[in-house]
Amino acid sequence: KNQVEQSPQSLIILEGKNCTLQCNYTVSPFSNLRWYKQDTGRGPVSLTIMTFSENTKSNGRYTATLDADTKQSSLHITASQLSDSASYICVVSDRGSTLGRLYFGRGTQLTVWP
C-alpha cells in the first residue's frame, strides 16, 4: 500500500533555532517528492520538489534531502522565524500510470515561540 509517514507529529522550537522534519514513504514507482507549507486556514503551498536523482535542494532557509534507496526525506529549517509556524506536509507522486497520483502525509505541526 502506498503510504507517506511524517514525524514528529508536532514540534515546538524557539525562534532562531534549527529543526528537521522527517518523511518516510512506500510509494512506488516513485516520481517526485514535495514539501508543502500550510498556514492555518489556507491551502498548502509548495516549498521544494525532489526527483529521484536529487539528494539535496535548498530554498532560502529550507533545505530538503532525499534518500531514494531508503525512501526517506527530510526538511531542515534554519534560523527559524515566527512566520515558520505552520503545518509542513510531505507529498509523494507516483508514476505508475499517466495519472501521477499524489500521496499526502499527515503533516508536522511546527510552532515557533519567541
Partner 1 sequence: EADIYQTPRYLVIGTGKKITLECSQTMGHDKMYWYQQDPGMELHLIHYSYGVNSTEKGDLSSESTVSRIRTEHFPLTLESARPSHTSQYLCASSDRRSEAFFGQGTRLTVV
Least distance from partner 1 to the Cβ atom of residue 84, Å: 17
Q: Which of 87, 55, 88 is nearest to 72 (CA)?
A: 55
The CA distance from 95 to 34, in Å, is 14
Establish if 47 lies at the interface with partner 1 (CB under 8 A). no
Establish if 49 lies at the interface with partner 1 (CB under 8 A). yes
Establish if 102 lies at the interface with partner 1 (CB under 8 A). yes
Beta bridge partners of 15: none
Span of 13-21, 28-36, 61-69, 70-78 interacting with partner 1 by CB under 8 A: 28-36
Cα distances from 61 to residues 17, 26, 69, 78, in angstroms, run 12, 27, 26, 5
Establish if 37 lies at the interface with partner 1 (CB under 8 A). no
E strand or H helix at 110, and its extent?
strand 108-113
Annotate each residue in 73-92 with x if it binds partner 1 (CB under 8 A) or - if it does not, as one string: ----------------x-x-
Beta bridge partners of 42: none
Span of 16-24, 36-44, 54-62, 63-71 interacting with partner 1 by CB under 8 A: 36-44
Exactly one of 29, 41, 60, 114 binds partner 1 (CB under 8 A); that residue is 41
